[in-house]
Amino acid sequence: MEEKPAPPVGSGGELFSLPAGPATLCFDKNEFMKKTFSVDEFLHENRNAGSLEIMRDDLGLYLKVLRSAMIELINQDYADFVDLSANLIGLDQQIDAIEGPLKKLRDEVDQVKGALEGSMSEIASCLEQKKLLRSYKKSLQSLGRAQASLQKLEGMLLSERKDPFDATLLERAALESIQLQFNSKFCHSFLDDSKRQLAQDLWSELLGRLKSYFLRALEEPEPKELERCLRIYCTLDECRTAEEVFRGEIVAPFMNRVISETSLQNSPQGLTGIYNQILDFVSMHMKQLCQLTKRNGKVKGYNFIVHSFWAEVERRMETNMSSIFAPGNPDAFYQKYKCTLEFLERIEQIIDDADDVAQFKAHAQYRSFQLRWNLPVYFQIRFQEIGAGLEASCSETAPCQLAASISASQFNVAQFSVALTAISRCWQDGVFLPQLFHRFLKLTLQILARLSVWCGEVFRPLPKQEQGDGSSGEGDTGRIRFLVAVYSDLRNIELKIPSIVNLVVEKSPSGVSHNELETILGESGKTFAERRSQLQQLIVKELITASIPQLRQVSDIPRLYRKTNRDVPSRCCAYVEQVLAPTDTFRKNYASMIGEEVMRDFLAGVYNYVTVQYYQMIDEVLTSVQKTEESLRRLKNLRDRSGTNASSTNTNNSDRLTPSDDDKIRLQLQVDVMHYVRFVEEQAHIARQDVNQLPQLIQLVEDASKGRIVSEQTQ
């Protein structure tokens, strides 16, 4: 395929529209105008428009259209092409005519440019020499001033006739020393080694005299001399030097005597006594310093508490009294750490400024001191102490011991008491540390979770050797008694969740909200509620298991009345009492403990299942009785046909007067069911319509009795 020609451009800079082609083209001609036109894409988009042969023919046809349009365009602008050729005749001669003058002008411009650059270089060199001369002049002037300052300082500091504690002299020497340092910066290259050594000696002498004056001023009762000395240090920008002097000469000797293992062992108050002696140092030796250098004091730029006092105290405690950091004895560690926190709080009170306190806490030695207290190890020891008892209790393989009398107001199972004691111990004074709040909160949640897991474990059926003799029922009774005790304790622990939340909130730092803790601990309460629901289902299942086997005696009722000539039933069979006995015993023993409302839920769960089974068994018995009765009736009718009508009439009359065995069976079933219903309504306080299929069961036995009467009347 030939390459598509570029579209012509009009006078306005816009592209002409492509000429129209035949209407039968299998492609859109405007696609050639796209800037992103691609042959592959064009073929892909038009692959379904026709075959390649058709596309080739259409492209060839449109190419002819484009060539015709191009020729027509050239013909329209032919006059312009001819005029352009005529105007270009003689242009080369005109260009050659102006080439010579332009070259000459360029050479002249280059000459002027070179002259200007030379002049500028000469001027720059002169300016640089002048700048250097000014620098030399300034350095020589500074050298003169420096030599004059050296002479003055030498006269003030090295003369033996001068008073070494003359504050005025020290102030003058400090100002002169500053002048010397300032001038030395500009003439350092001109000073010889002797002058430099002399300046260093004079500086050392000044600091030495200032140190002596500072130590003397510290002993003065009035702060005037001390304030003057601190100002001289500040003038020299040697505030840190003053702090180091105070630390080395005053703080260090005192702390060396106070902070040691011997002092700790001999102190009647232990670590508290050591801290009191350390704080007494502030009141005895730093009162004036603190008053002068605090934020609203007379002298700025000092922090003797942090850089002198605390730095030395912390270093001595780490080196001379490292035993206090040992976490092996958690009780002793707790007391020492709490005592240390109070000590640090008292230091912050002495500082009495938010910015200075922040600076104190950001100090490298403060952070190092905090890291020396191995709180993770302390917590691990407490974790083992607190968790060991609960884990041992939850891991017991022997049957759990219950309280002598089960009560709803206290825990009946040891594991719950142990868990609550463990939670209380987490937050009690002597164990809990605010710095470990999140760890103790996690431990509290772990204790609750472990108790929940234990509850799930005890839901499993007891081994046969622990269930006792099944015939006596003692094992089943003990099992239910234990499950009820766990159920009661689950409800009690769930009710104690708010008090646990309040306990945690009371100990929580300011950044933790009550709602957050309530949400976190509330999840444990939901877990216990789920366990309680599971346990309720298990207890109901246990009661159902104890009740259902007695229902099998329903199928024995027909044998009690067929061919036995028993009296018409007037009281329920023994199996009904046996079916109701487990729930009756459960209600009497535990109603006061778990409450009437919950008891109704338990019993309703049992009766819902038992009644359905009872209905099925009675329905089966009635169906069997009806079939037997119909068979006997058909047999009797066959016998009656072979006898006389008189004898048949007498027999029928006697049958109507005497209840049959089947009537007695139906009546017995009705009596049993009504006794069952009365117990459910009167003893369990559950309405009959709230029990599954109980109304249908009543209707079933009533319809069976009525159906027999109607059948006799019809006969």
- Reported as a single tens digit per residue, the pLDDT across 323-377 is 888 888 899 999 999 999 999 998 888 887 788 888 888 888 888 888 888 899 9
**What is the number of domains present in the chain?**
2
486: in domain: no
Per the CB < 8 A criterion, the answer to whether 187 and 142 are in contact is yes
* Residue at a domain's end among 88, 104, 121: 88
| Mean per-residue pLDDT, 47-75 | 83
- Which pair of structure tokens corresponds to residue 108? 């002249």
Q: According to the model, what pLDDT value does residue 710 have?
A: 41
694: in domain: yes
In the block, tokens 């009167």 appear at 682
DSSP characters over 518-575: HHHHHHHHHHHHHHHHHHHHHHHHHHHHHHGGGGGGGGGHHHHHTTT-PPPP-S--HH
- Which pair of structure tokens corresponds to residue 75? 């013909």
What burial letters (b/e) apply to 651-689, b meaning 16+ CB within 10 Å? eeeeeeeebbbbbbbbbbbbbbbebbbebbeeebebeee
Q: How many CB atoms lie within 10 A of CB 603?
A: 23
Distance between CA 60 and CA 38 in Å, rounded? 18
Query: Is residue 84 predicted with pLDDT exceeding 60?
Result: yes
Compute, in degrees rounded to 10, the torsion defined by CA atoms 30, 32, 34, 37. Answer: 140
Distance between CA 78 and CA 58 in Å, rounded? 30
| Mean per-residue pLDDT, 14-22 | 70
Confidence of residue 446 (pLDDT cuts 50, 70, 90): very high
289: in domain: no
Query: Is residue 161 predicted with pLDDT exceeding 60?
Result: no
| Mean per-residue pLDDT, 58-78 | 84
Q: What is the pTM of this model?
A: 0.67
204: in domain: no
Query: Is residue 91 predicted with pLDDT exceeding 50?
Result: yes
* Residue at a domain's end among 88, 110, 126: 88
47: in domain: yes
In the block, tokens 């933790």 appear at 512
588: in domain: yes
Percent of the chain scored above 70 by pLDDT? 85
Q: Name the residue range of residue 572's domain.
A: 550-632+660-708
Residue with more model confidence, 170 or 585: 585
Query: Is residue 1 predicted with pLDDT exceeding 50?
Result: no
User: How would you classify residue 19: left for phi > 0, otherwise alpha for psi between -120 and 50, otherwise beta?
Assistant: beta
Q: According to the model, what pLDDT value does residue 60 have?
A: 87
Q: According to the model, what pLDDT value does residue 144 have?
A: 67
- Which pair of structure tokens corresponds to residue 179? 């002048």
Confidence of residue 476 (pLDDT cuts 50, 70, 90): low
In the block, tokens 């068994």 appear at 617
Q: According to the model, what pLDDT value does residue 421 have?
A: 92
Confidence of residue 444 (pLDDT cuts 50, 70, 90): very high
Compute, in degrees rounded to 10, the torsion defined by CA atoms 450, 455, 457, 459. Answer: -170
Q: According to the model, what pLDDT value does residue 14 have?
A: 45
- Which pair of structure tokens corresponds to residue 270? 């232990």
Query: Is residue 685 predicted with pLDDT exceeding 60?
Result: yes
540: in domain: no
Distance between CA 153 and CA 177 in Å, rounded? 7
Phi first, then psi: give them for residue 483, nearest 5 degrees.
Answer: -65, -40
Distance between CA 236 and CA 341 in Å, rounded? 37
141: in domain: no
| Mean per-residue pLDDT, 131-139 | 77
